[in-house]
Amino acid sequence: MSMPLESVPFSELLRQPAETAERLTRARAVRLRRRDAADLVLMSADRAAAEGEVVDLTARLLASVVRRDPTAVREVLPTVLPWVRFLPPEDVDQMADEFVATAEAAAAVGNTVAVSQLLSEWRHTAEIHADPDLHRILAAPSSDDFGPVAPPAGE
């Protein structure tokens, strides 16, 4: 059974730092909710190091298994990520290759953001394949130039 992730307002950490840190004895980590910015997570350094070690080992183990049996990941992906079933077989192969390479590289640098981004991109691709009308529209050739694109709001 995994330890829960407690959630508290960021201001609680500022007002009661010792009590907020004490929560780490009961929780895996403490989510610090902020109103006008991204939430933060407070975790003990030992716990963060241990979780990093597990991620690194898992990525290296996965890469080793795939080198030995390239079909291993492809066969289990639909069980682990059910939305993969919407991808064409050649996309599943490409996704599996990219996932293993990205996971291994991300573990080597200690930053899994690239893996999360990769999964998000492939999930969106699966969503397009799951909707025949959307897929038809996006797959249709287009020679139109729709002009310059305005920068996103806030930039």
CA 91 – CA 53 distance, rounded (Å):
30
Residue 107: per-residue pLDDT: 81
Q: In what order do the strands lie in the sheet with 29-33?
A: 5-9, 29-33, 40-42
> What is the per-residue pLDDT across 64-112, written as a single tens digit (0 to 9) for each?
888 788 788 888 889 999 999 999 999 999 999 898 889 888 888 888 8
Classify residue 86: in a domain, yes or no: yes
Does pLDDT of 28 surpass 90? no
Do 33 and 56 lie in one domain? The reply is no
Residue 63: per-residue pLDDT: 80
Going from the C-alpha of 24 to that of each of 43, 51, 83, the distances in angstroms are 7, 15, 35
Do 60 and 32 lie in one domain? The reply is no
Taking the model in full, what pTM does it have? 0.69
Burial profile 34-68: b = 16 or more Cβ within 10 angstroms, e = fewer: eeeeeeeebbeeeeeeeeeeebbeebeebbeebee
Residue 3: per-residue pLDDT: 61
Do 52 and 115 lie in one domain? The reply is yes
Do 87 and 16 lie in one domain? The reply is no
Considering the chain, what is the average pLDDT of its residues? 88
Residue 1: per-residue pLDDT: 45
Do 54 and 37 lie in one domain? The reply is no
Structural domain containing residue 118: 46-139
Classify residue 152: in a domain, yes or no: no
Classify residue 148: in a domain, yes or no: no
